[in-house]
Amino acid sequence: MRVAVLNDIHGNLPALNAVLSEVAAAGVDQIVVGGDVLPGPMPYETLSRLFTLDLPIHFLYGNGEVAVLEWRQGRKPGSVPEQYQSTIAWNAKQLSPEDEQTLRGWPLTVRLTVDGLGATLFCHATPQNENDIFTRLTPEGRLLPLFADLGVAVVVCGHSHMQFDRTVGTARVVNAGSVGMPYGHSEADWLILGPGVEFRRTRYDFNGAIERIRASGCPNAEDLFVETILHPPDETLMTDSYEKVALGRRPTSAA
């Protein structure tokens, strides 16, 4: 079995459509969507597009879905900065009751057997939760407790919006990157698994996407989504920034 992995779409429907065209041409057997379909500027349209795919598809929840579902329950998600709460609230209002019920049924992890790779576990951040941050530079010793005794050869994650391929103990840990908001460039990142690990990068109509994002009515669309397409955050700077808080680490005083 060959699998396409699409993570961190963030409601960027034009990016998703471009990737799905390549997924169809690649002849994969199944798709894994590894969390953070939401929030984004086209949440309803993006979910609808995914829900109508002909291929078997596995969904996982990410921290984005958790935040949006908290708003649906009338609670402000504590993990979201105040200036972006309106974006989460707007996304929550775009969901139908049926969409909400569907999202609540998504699991934290999925396990599949992939050609050439064997037993593979898919998660959003880490196998334990949807929030842990780690990068290609995080020391292996701090990651071993999270990736030991999983009974799989490969773990595929997302969350940090940057692709990488590294080893933790006996597990190969691969980050699929982000379809809708990649760091370091503007093209859509995704993966094909089987028989190896194939990192893919798909170009799409950036100008057309920006027009649709600006017309969406999503609060903070310019700062959050348009700016990321026009001026993607530098990958090295984002890696260094994430390393300061990786797996609960806090910056130490310079004194």
Q: Is the pLDDT of residue 20 over 70?
A: yes
DSSP assignments along 101-158, one per residue: HHHHT--SEEEEEETTTEEEEEESS-SS-S-----TTS-HHHHHHHHTT---SEEEE-
Q: Averaged over 117-146, what is the pLDDT?
A: 97
DSSP assignments along 33-95, one per residue: EES---SSSSHHHHHHHHHT-SS-EEEE--HHHHHHHHHHTT---TTS-GGGHHHHHHHHHH-
Q: Is the pLDDT of residue 255 over 60?
A: no
Confidence of residue 251 (pLDDT cuts 50, 70, 90): very low
Rounded Cα–Cα distance for residues 178 and 10 (Å): 9
Confidence of residue 247 (pLDDT cuts 50, 70, 90): confident
The pLDDT, as a whole number, for residue 69 is 98
- pLDDT tens string 57-98: 999 999 999 999 999 999 999 889 999 999 999 999 999 999
- pLDDT tens string 166-202: 999 999 999 999 999 999 999 999 999 999 999 999 9
Q: Averaged over 22-35, what is the pLDDT?
A: 97
Q: Averaged over 208-224, what is the pLDDT?
A: 97
Specify the length of the chain in residues.
255
Q: Is the pLDDT of residue 112 over 70?
A: yes
Q: Averaged over 40-61, what is the pLDDT?
A: 97
Instruction: Please name the residue that has the structure tokens 């940090």.
Output: 160
Q: Is the pLDDT of residue 250 over 60?
A: no
Task: Find, among 128, 66, 75, 133, the residue nearest to 100 by Cα.
Answer: 66
**H/E element holding 97?**
helix 97-104
Q: Averaged over 32-55, what is the pLDDT?
A: 97
* Domains of the chain (ranges, CATH numbers): 3-248 (3.60.21.10)
| Helix, strand or coil, per DSSP, at residue 172 | strand
Angle at the Cα of 3 from the Cα atoms of 56 and 49, rounded to 5 degrees: 45
pTM of the entire structure? 0.95
Q: Is the pLDDT of residue 249 over 90?
A: no
Task: Give the strand pairing for 118-123 and 109-114.
Answer: antiparallel
- Total Cβ atoms within 10 A of residue 100: 15
End-to-end CA distance of the chain: 54
Query: What average pLDDT does the chain have?
Result: 95
Residue type, 215: A
